[in-house]
């Protein structure tokens, strides 16, 4: 007999007789069977329990969530390694072998078995609770709503687009958990963001289901946790519930720090003088239009009060003001310059006492291959023309013996713009620095303190709520290349934050409340009774609130998070909401199973009970222009029988007139006894019209006004969006998101106007039947332009014509028609403070603007009149002018353009043809 050994040579036993060998073999087999059966018997109870649990997965009585199945899988894997993989089927018999094979199949492919179990459960559960879903609300729940209620994964995210019935889902979910015997009412935590929303939800759950579950705000549950752990609740700061008080406290802290005349006061004044606006220059842009658009958003107002045309000019002006040097900005030059063909010369600055002029030149130095240097201009600036202009200005001052001090963009690039200016002026002026408190009072006069205090307040709340440190912010500013502005801001924020914390004393604010409660839950000082956490308006969750939810979830292995929200409606970043938490819901709140992390389930409600198809689809298309938004299916409430979205273009100062026309049209469609609700929306509170007068004029319309943020959750038959114009206080707002907030946000939104686009979506989806957008015909917002130009939105016609889009040949902006003091029509560049391109309307029709096609030598008007094109500029055309040597042709843009030509026979023919027309 040969015995095979694993760790040595085979053993050969010789000379055994047949009968002895037979007996030996039978003894070995009996011992082998006994050994296997004995091992099996020792784990019989465990195996029976595992087998029963796995068998039940074929027809589960409860949703097979990852947190429920993971312990089963863990135990099955452990016994498989220690026992099942070693047992021999022939030794234990076919019945036991089949039971073990089932366990091993589960171990081998648990994902497929759990997935089949989920499908089986959902099919049966939806049928079992059909009557409940038919009657829990006034109307039967939709298939999507029913599915969201019975899905019970470790973390479930319900995507509830506008008007999709999210409150019905939360109501049904809470009632289902109790009625199905899954949870007792005191094991369910129902969370809302606002007190009134929590009260409404509690009442609705009890009224609909007879189940008493108290919905609470995050702050209420956090305050209760603190009270239970500490034995009493610390007093709440006065400003915690009052945003105005909070902002005023920040303003007072700034004022007190300045008047303390410390190093902090210098940091604060430095911020207002040099970093209040984003420090970009023409070198950061590829086109004049982009540069001018950016500058107009920045409100480049100096401490003296005038608006300047560039950030570097702002630095110079504020340095002069800080140091008590009186100056004039862009004054008329003291000597008249004759027959230059240029506009009157206005230097950048003139120092009042010394008479010194300052010109700031936008040039930088470029190293050439041979080691020499040359001056270069921004990408969109003609270098030769600019350098010629510099030479001409120097020549003017030399000829008239006026003193000129020059500064250059390359000096700022090299970090010595202001130190260099100080050196150049030292022989001519005496510095008389203004006290910090005097400068601060000036900042207050200019109303610059309010917006900065709001920025500080928003930053402070996000800083505390996100658990950030100053080192975190400093490091992130380096990664995001926010440069000196971020350092200047943090130099102010650090002492402001320290003083804010000091003034809290023994009181707490809402951020402290949430974070302290989260800490108590994390450390086990608070033991949570909750097994299901239901969160409404999840898109508004902040980092600190998310931390509390995670701490409560981590206390027990079977806790579920059920979140209902819409990332398309995330519009409260200023209050600390963090859209990152919803976009990465699984990573943040999900469970683990079979080596997979972030296990969660997403249910898309899809169907809207509010908006008809045109509004529902247009708003979806609009918000999904940002690829970071989560895509959802939309089933509209009905089909439009006429145009549901209208854009009304209002001439200057006629917004109220157009609003009355819109309301007249809506009222006219109602019968004698008919009524309709009309919601007027504005991006800002100051846009509210005279509601009493409007209600008196239109008694059949139930009129109301809300800001878009305040309108969330509301709906109306008709919505009218007011003042959808471009500009700092337009829509999209150009003052909402300071890049500095990225320092206290885990994920920066790179898409332009990302949050404002969601605000627009909220505005659009308040409407059931019609949406009317009123915008300026001369400066409609980028949103209005997008909606009207892109055929994807299906907005076929507009009420009131938007001006024909004429591109400015000087900067690429738009040429807009304006009425001159002489009553004539002119076309002026939208960037009037920077570009100055101005053209008269066609002299033949007096209304339209002659334009030339590429390569054409003629500018032709819509009225068919034609003119010789200017040989110098892109927009002008030539007309006859008289000079000292007789008539000649000159550009209509003179003196901005000096293009001219002699009158030739052919030109005379053109003039003759034109005059006949």
Binding residues: 160-167
What does the block give as tokens for 191?
Answer: 């969370």
Burial 373-412 (b: 16+ CB within 10 A, else e): eebbbbeeeeeeebbeebeebeebbeeeebeebbbbbbbb
What does the block give as tokens for 109?
Answer: 């492919």
Could you give the 3-state DSSP secondary structure of residue 647? strand
For residue 150, the surrounding DSSP H or E stretch is helix 143-150
Phi, psi dihedrals of residue 138, rounded to the nearest 5°: -65, -30
Distance CA(774)–CA(756), nearest Å, equals 17
Instruction: Please enumerate in sequence order all residues whose Cβ is within 8 A of that of 41, keeping only pairs 6 or more positions apart, or say none.
Output: none
Residues 544, 511 contacting (CB under 8 angstroms): yes
What does the block give as tokens for 692?
Answer: 């009493």
User: Which alpha helices (DSSP H) does 700-753 contain, by range?
Assistant: none
Residues 156, 562 contacting (CB under 8 angstroms): yes
For residue 535, the surrounding DSSP H or E stretch is strand 532-535
Residues 106, 80 contacting (CB under 8 angstroms): no
Distance CA(579)–CA(745), nearest Å, equals 10
Q: Give 182: exposed, middle or buried? Use CB within 10 Å, 0-12, 13-18, 19+.
A: middle
DSSP notation for 502-521: HHHTT-B-HHHHHHHHHHHH
Residues 903, 880 contacting (CB under 8 angstroms): yes
Residues 781, 731 contacting (CB under 8 angstroms): yes
- Mark the binding-site residues for ATP, compressed into ranges: 160-167
Residues making up the chain, counted from first to last: 917
Distance CA(841)–CA(863), nearest Å, equals 11
Do strands 596-599 and 591-593 pair parallel, antiparallel, or not at all (unpaired)? antiparallel
Residue 887: DSSP 8-state: E
DSSP notation for 56-110: HTTS-SS---HHHHHHHHHHHHHHIIIIITT--HHHH-HHHHHHHHHHHHHHH-H
Angle 859-864-867 from CA coordinates, rounded to 5°: 30
Distance CA(158)–CA(72), nearest Å, equals 27
Burial 202-240 (b: 16+ CB within 10 A, else e): bebbbebbebebbbbbbbbbbbebbeebeeeebebbebb
Q: Name the residue among 442, 432, 489 with its Cα closest to residue 255.
A: 442
Residues 893, 839 contacting (CB under 8 angstroms): yes
Q: Please write down the HEC assignment for all residues of 476-503.
A: HHHHCCCHHHHHHHHHHHHHHHHHHHHH
Residue 236: DSSP 8-state: B
What does the block give as tokens for 236?
Answer: 């709440």
User: Which alpha helices (DSSP H) does 371-482 contain, by range?
Assistant: 383-400, 409-413, 417-425, 436-445, 448-465, 470-479
What does the block give as tokens for 730?
Answer: 């337009």
| E strand map for 193-257 | 215-217
Helix 543-554 × helix 448-465 angle, to 10°: 10
Q: Please give the order of strands across the beta sheet that includes 806-807.
A: 806-807, 814-819, 825-829, 838-840
């Amino acid at each position: 007999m040969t015995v095979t050994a694993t760790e040595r040579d085979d053993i050969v036993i010789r000379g055994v007789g047949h009968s002895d060998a037979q007996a030996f073999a039978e003894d070995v087999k009996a011992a082998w069977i006994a050994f296997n059966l004995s091992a099996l018997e020792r784990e019989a109870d465990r195996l029976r329990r595992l087998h029963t649990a796995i068998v039940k997965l074929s027809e589960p009585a409860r949703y097979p969530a990852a947190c429920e199945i993971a312990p089963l899988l863990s135990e099955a894997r452990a016994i498989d390694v220690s026992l099942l993989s070693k047992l021999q089927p022939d030794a234990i018999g076919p019945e036991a072998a089949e039971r073990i094979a089932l366990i091993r199949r589960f171990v081998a492919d648990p994902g497929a078995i759990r997935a089949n179990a989920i499908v089986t459960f959902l099919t049966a559960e939806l049928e079992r609770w059909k009557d409940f879903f038919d009657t829990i609300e006034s109307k039967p729940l939709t298939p999507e709503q029913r599915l969201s209620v019975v899905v019970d994964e470790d973390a479930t995210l319900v995507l509830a687009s506008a008007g999709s019935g999210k409150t019905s889902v939360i109501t049904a979910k809470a009632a289902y958990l109790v009625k199905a015997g899954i949870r007792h009412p005191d094991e369910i935590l129902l969370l809302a963001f606002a007190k009134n929303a929590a009260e409404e939800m509690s009442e609705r759950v009890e009224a609909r289901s007879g189940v008493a579950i108290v919905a609470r705000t995050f702050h209420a549950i956090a305050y209760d946790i603190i009270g239970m752990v500490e034995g009493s609740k610390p007093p709440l700061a006065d400003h915690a519930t009052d945003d105005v008080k909070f902002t005023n406290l920040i303003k007072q802290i700034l004022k007190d720090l300045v008047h303390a005349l410390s190093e902090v006061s210098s940091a604060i004044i430095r911020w207002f003088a040099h970093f209040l606006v984003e420090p970009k220059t023409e070198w950061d842009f590829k086109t004049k239009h982009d540069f001018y658009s950016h500058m107009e958003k920045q409100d480049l107002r100096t401490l003296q009060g005038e608006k300047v045309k560039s950030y570097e000019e702002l630095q110079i002006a504020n340095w002069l003001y800080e140091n008590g040097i009186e100056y004039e900005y862009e004054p008329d030059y003291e000597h008249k310059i004759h027959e230059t063909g240029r506009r009157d010369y206005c230097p950048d600055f003139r120092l009042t006492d010394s008479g010194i002029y300052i010109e700031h030149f936008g040039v930088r130095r470029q190293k050439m291959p041979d080691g020499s240097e040359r001056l270069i201009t921004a990408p969109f600036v003609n270098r030769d023309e600019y350098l010629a202009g510099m030479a001409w200005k120097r020549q003017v001052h030399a000829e008239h013996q006026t003193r000129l001090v020059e500064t250059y963009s390359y000096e700022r690039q090299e970090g010595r713009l202001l130190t260099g200016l100080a050196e150049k002026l030292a022989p001519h002026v005496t510095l008389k620095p203004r006290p910090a408190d005097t400068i601060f009072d000036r900042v207050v006069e200019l109303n610059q303190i309010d917006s900065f205090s709001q920025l500080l307040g928003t930053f402070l709340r996000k800083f505390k709520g996100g658990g950030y440190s100053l080192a975190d912010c400093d490091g992130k500013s380096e990664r995001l290349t926010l440069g000196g502005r971020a350092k200047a801001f943090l130099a102010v924020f650090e002492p402001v934050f320290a003083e804010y914390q000091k003034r809290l004393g023994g009181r707490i604010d809402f951020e402290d409340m949430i974070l302290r409660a989260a800490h108590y839950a994390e450390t086990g000082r608070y033991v949570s009774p909750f097994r299901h956490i239901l969160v409404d308006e999840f898109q508004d969750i902040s980092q600190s609130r998310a931390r509390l939810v995670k701490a409560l979830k981590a206390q027990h292995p079977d806790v579920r998070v059920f979140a209902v929200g819409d990332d398309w409606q995330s519009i409260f970043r200023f209050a600390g909401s963090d859209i990152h938490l919803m976009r990465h819901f699984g990573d943040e709140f999900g469970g683990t199973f079979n080596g997979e992390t972030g296990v969660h389930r997403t249910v898309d409600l899809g169907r809207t009970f509010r908006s008809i198809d045109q509004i529902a689809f247009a708003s979806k298309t609009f918000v999904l222009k940002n690829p970071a938004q989560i895509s959802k299916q939309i089933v509209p409430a009905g089909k439009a029988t006429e145009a549901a979205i209208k854009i009304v273009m209002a001439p200057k100062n006629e917004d109220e007139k157009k609003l009355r026309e819109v309301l007249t049209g809506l009222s006219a469609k109602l019968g004698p006894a008919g009524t309709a609700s009309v919601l007027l929306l504005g991006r800002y509170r100051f846009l509210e019209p005279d509601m009493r007068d409007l209600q008196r004029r239109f008694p059949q319309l139930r009129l109301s006004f809300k800001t878009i943020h305040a309108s969330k959750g509301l709906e109306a038959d008709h919505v009218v969006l007011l003042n959808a114009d471009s500009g700092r206080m337009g829509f999209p707002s150009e003052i909402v998101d300071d890049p500095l907030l990225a320092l206290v946000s885990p994920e920066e939104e790179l898409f332009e106007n990302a949050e404002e686009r969601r605000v627009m979506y909220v505005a659009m989806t308040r409407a059931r039947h019609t949406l009317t957008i009123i915008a300026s015909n001369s400066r409609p917002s980028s949103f209005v332009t997008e909606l009207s130009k892109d055929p994807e939105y299906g907005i076929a016609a507009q009420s009131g014509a938007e001006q024909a889009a004429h591109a400015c040949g000087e900067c690429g902006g738009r040429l807009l028609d304006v009425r001159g003091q002489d009553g004539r029509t002119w076309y002026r560049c939208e960037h009037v403070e920077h570009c100055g391109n101005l053209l008269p309307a066609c002299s033949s029709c007096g209304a339209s603007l002659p334009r030339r096609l590429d390569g054409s030598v003629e500018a032709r008007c819509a009225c068919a009149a034609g003119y010789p094109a200017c040989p110098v500029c892109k927009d002008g055309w030539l007309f006859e002018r008289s000079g000292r040597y007789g008539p000649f042709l000159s550009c209509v843009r003179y003196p901005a353009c000096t293009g001219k030509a002699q009158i030739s026979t052919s030109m005379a023919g053109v003039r003759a043809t034109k005059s006949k027309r």
